[in-house]
Structure 1
């Protein structure tokens, strides 16, 4: 018969607590009544326009910099979307939760590629965007 030690008791308590916390997070994330479903996200603002998926193209001047974004038909590595600042590619990626990050600001997520491009312009503080080699 194994003897209960302080180490085993603490390990069991930590495991149980971790399970409870993770279960609580999963329930909280899945039970949000105001969170849009995949169906409403895909068709939000596009009634009567079947087939619209993903972010729409944009082209604007933001803080004196030209930012552009459009769906790309490349290898899908960029989430199927290309963003440029003053004609130079800004490497962007779409996360599994449909948020976006860029090489300029990799630890903060954004709702759209336009928001990523604007944040990159702010972060660059007038510096030129250097292409990834």
Structure 2
């Protein structure tokens, strides 16, 4: 008959805590993607695509132009010149003013307005910046 030792009890507890931590992280990541407007589309014939991807370049988000909370937000892929390398090859504007965005190594996006929070795509970054600005004008960086 096996006997439970202090060492095995601690090992089991550590394993359980690690498993719960991983499960919580996975849940938070999935919830964050849905909150940022990234919902996988079913039946589009391309595994791993989301409704925001442009089919001309599998790694480049599609262009957008919309009014969000009374502000006009626009985004489009850019090629060469300027700060395109920093921006991940993508330009985002709020009311015609450039919002500096950057693509992270893991494929998420950040902006100068929300640089501690990552987003799934440039549209989500622009929308979050509009919310964060609370009506203030976006000031160009020097």
Q: What's the TM-score bracket when you normalise by the shorter of the two chains?
A: 0.5 to 0.7
Per-residue CA deviations over 1:12-45 (Å, capped at 9, x if unaligned) read xxxxxxxxxxxx8xxx6xxx8xx99xx944x556
Report matched runs for 1:42-121 at 5 Å.
Answer: 43=49, 51-74=57-80, 75-121=84-130
Report matched runs for 1:33-44 at 5 Å.
Answer: 40-41=47-48, 43=49
What is the TM-score with the length of structure 2 in the denominator?
Answer: 0.60
**Following the alignment from structure 1 to structure 2, what is the Cα–Cα distance between the partners of residues 112 and 51?**
14
**Following the alignment from structure 2 to structure 1, what is the Cα–Cα distance between the partners of residues 139 and 75?**
17
Give the superposed CA RMSD.
Answer: 2.9
**Following the alignment from structure 2 to structure 1, what is the Cα–Cα distance between the partners of residues 101 and 56?**
26
Relative contact order (alpha carbons < 8 A, sep ≥ 6): 1 or 2 greater?
Answer: 2
Per-residue CA deviations over 1:38-72 (Å, capped at 9, x if unaligned) read x944x5569xx564332100000000000000001
What is the TM-score with the length of structure 1 in the denominator?
Answer: 0.64
The count of corresponding residues between Structure 1 and Structure 2 is: 101
Partner of 2:140: 131
User: How much has 1:102 moved relative to structure 2?
Assistant: 0.3
Q: Which 4+ residue blocks in structure 1 deviate beyond 3 angstroms?
A: 43-46, 49-52
Which 5+ residue runs of structure 1 have no aligned equivalent?
A: 1-23
Which structure's CA Rg is the greater one?
1
Change (3 A) 1:58 1:50: closer
- Are 1:122 and 2:131 matched, yes or no? yes
Which 5+ residue runs of structure 2 have no aligned equivalent?
A: 1-17, 31-39, 41-45
